[in-house]
Structure 1
Amino acid sequence: MKDHYTHAFTELQIPHQRNCNSISFPSVLSPNPTNVPFSLSLLTKTIATQKQFLDSLLHRAGAVLFRGFDFKTAKDFNDFVEAFGYEELPYMGGAAPRTNVVGRLPEFPSKLFFFCEVEPGSGGQTPLVLSHIVYERMKQRYPEFVEHLEQHGLIYTLVLGENDDLSSPIGRSWKSTFSTDDKNLAEERAAKLGTKLEWMKDGGVKTTIGPIPAIKYDKLRQRKIWFNSMVPAYIGWKSEQNDPVGVTFGDGKPLPADIIYDCLKIMEEECVAIPWQKGDVLLIDNLAVLHARRSSNPPRRILASLCK
């Protein structure tokens, strides 16, 4: 298969990658050094002509890191994303503060792009883990727990403040979350996301979503996958406003802490965390791969584009 794209790409082996069933995870592509200087316009044309190969590689690997291309600005990133022809999905309903930079709902994104515009001072990696492996290991270790998850799903509860708190990993305000400062419009948009709102006296809002499935079936790869935010919601959704824990079984029963922390351990054992380099673009198949974010020392600027 390499002959199909050697005129454009070279597949790299770099530290931190894992080998999963003879496939490098994630796959890493860089410009072929024998080429003339690889301009952004040439790259976008190459994507159009080699879309079938890139889709196939993403299907097999779950994530592809593009490293060494001449990406410098948000516009470069946007042009690159648009070359793939995926439909844009607005970032709505998440907890992490993010910024919409250049142009680009009840449904979840099928593809995620991340662009490292400013490399972190230290840390700040985006850990990746194959979601079917998490499911398989959890099913093997805790069959009754996973069966309960499959049967009932999860309910998430999160209090959003009136204004963004950039110091918190869950500091996204309701105004940013629903892209409006109009409470009626926020309620309309929340309803489309299947989210119930309960307005607080301090101007914030308590959001409740679920029960929603915690395990999905990946039809393309014909396997069950771990598709939930159980671990970060249980362990990481902590703030003055968010206490106690923001996630339960879909039937309202509490989640057992020991199993949650063991799931975290499994994810850490299986994850790949490649340090960001300026200009990197990471493409993730959201059904195949779970992602997170490690803390970092500034500066760090990672832009995101979500696609259907």
Structure 2
Amino acid sequence: MTDVTDHGAGVRSLRVPIPDNPLGHTLVYVLDTDRGPVLVDTGWDDPAAWDTLAAGLAACGTSPAGIHGVVVTHHHPDHHGLSGRVREASGAWIAMHAADVSVVRRTRETGPDRWYSYMTAKLTAAGAPEEHIAPLRTARRRTLPGLSPALPDREIVPGELLDLPGRRLRAIWTPGHTPGHVCLHLEEQHPARLPGRGRLFSGDHLLPEITPHIGLYEDPDDATVTDPLGDYLDSLERVARLAPAEVLPAHQYAFADTGARVRELLAHHEERLTGLLDLLATPLTPWQLAERMEWNRPWDRIPYGSRNIAVSEAEAHLRRLVKQGRAEAVTGTEPVEYVRV
């Protein structure tokens, strides 16, 4: 059975499965335009996901071959994964923000060896123990998922209306989850006349019950000191000012009251930062901080790959605290330790 939800006024969503992932599925949106249907995200590049996408499009009266364009909220494989297959089937254009296009281009040009070397150096600098780093030294010939994502052929320019005849869809740059994440504001009256300004396709930026992962922007060749958590918090406030009547996220379900959800997320991150300052009463490396942070399960039950993600999230929070002047690196420590100010 194909799971299609009609959100009214030419907007439908399809639940496209993500293999072996607790999120379960990506909500792919089908937006009718005067030149044919346009997709917002596409789902993971997987045979079952492709079959589900094709069946969902058939239930909407179209097919992969009938797609006019693909708008990608961000480069992650559960959003961008099937874009290339859709383009092959239909000749559709693929649009993405330039910052995430750069990530896609770099990913296509970087082999697994470079990635494993980068992760080895990164985790060593974060203070990871040798038993955690050792597998990376011997995994050089493994293939990694998502190493050949489709290269987009259109750039999403923040603040501009996308070229979708018959619709008003404006790009809102919301970095944080990725450097080029965009939300898409459908500047049309809500079909049920809910109070607020149109509808917002929020990707992973704003979800009803999940706090999106905010880690460091991974670029082996860029030494720029970024502040992804600061970017995310600023982006949340930008979205709140839009005051959409309804949010159409890429996971879970549609919801209203954007302002309340934004306030919850801002409060969550401030509480988390304050809690980390308590931990930093004693100097800690990013790895040691991650070990002591509160996750959805005890540290010894967190899988290997998820520990890497957790360390990246700890580092993003450290960057924010350092930028705010609430924590600092301890001079002369290697791996570098941080302490509250």
TM range (shorter): under 0.3
Q: Larger RCO: Structure 1 or Structure 2 (Cα < 8 Å, ≥ 6 residues apart)? A: 1
TM-score normalized with structure 2 length: 0.24
Q: Flag the structure with higher helix content.
A: 2
Q: Flag the structure with higher strand content.
A: 1
TM-score normalized with structure 1 length: 0.26
